[in-house]
Amino acid sequence: MTEAAPRFAAYFKVRHHEMDALGHVNNAVYLHYLEQAAIAHSDALGFTIARLAALGGVFIARRHEIDYLRPAAAGDTLQVITWAAEMRGALAVRDYAIHRHDPVAGGLPGDGFLPPDFAPAGPPLVRARTHWAWVDPAAGRPRRLPAGLAAVYLTERRGVPGAERGDQEEG
C-alpha cells in the first residue's frame, strides 16, 4: 500500500447471519463494515457525529465502488483498513482494504492507527472507495468542508499533542 494518509483499522468478526446462500459474507454486509470503519476512524480522530454536526455538517455517502476479490466466512476476523484519499471542496474520498486477520498472530493496535510500515499478512478480500459529500443537514445541500478538517484526516496524527481529540497542531 502506498497511500500517504495515515491508515486506521477496525476489526469485525463475521457472524453466521451475515452469510449468503454460498456461505460467504453477503455483498451488502461489506457496506456495513465499511461504514462502521469510517465512523470508528472519525471517532478516533475526535470527530464524533455530534462534533461534526457542531461544525455544521455531516458526511453523506454519494457513491460506493467495491471490488470483491476473495470470500470471507462466518468466524473470520476481518481487518478493515481505511484512510482518507482526497478531501477538497465538499468532497471526501475514503479508500478501504479488507483483509482476513488472525487476532492471535497479530495483536490489535490500541488506538486503531496503523504504523506507517504496516503490511497486512495476506492478500485483500475486498478493495473499496466511497465518495462522501459534506452536507448541511438543515439545507440538505453540499457545502465546503470546514477549514482544517481535511488536514486532520490527511496528516499523520500519532504522537501529535491533542491528536486524539482532532485538534490542529499549532504552528
pLDDT at 35 over 90: yes
pLDDT at 117 over 50: yes
pLDDT at 26 over 60: yes
pLDDT single digits (tens) 72-97 = 999 999 999 999 999 999 999 999 99
| pLDDT score for 153 | 94
| pLDDT score for 28 | 95
Q: Give one DSSP letter per residue of 84-112, joined into a string.
A: EEEEETTEEEEEEEEEEE-TTTSPPPSSS
Report residue 106's pLDDT band, with 50, 70 and 90 as the boundaries. low
Distance CA 28, CA 33 (A): 9
- pLDDT > 70 in the chain, percent: 86
The pLDDT mean for the chain works out to 87
| pLDDT score for 149 | 93
As a dihedral over the C-alpha atoms of residue 140, residue 141, residue 144, residue 146, rounded to 10 degrees, the angle is -10
How much is the pTM? 0.86
Helix (H, G, I), strand (E, B) or coil at 40: helix
**Alpha carbon distances (Å) from 72 to 17, 24, 63, 110:** 13, 6, 23, 25
Distance CA 156, CA 158 (A): 6
pLDDT at 30 over 50: yes
pLDDT at 132 over 80: yes
pLDDT at 17 over 80: yes
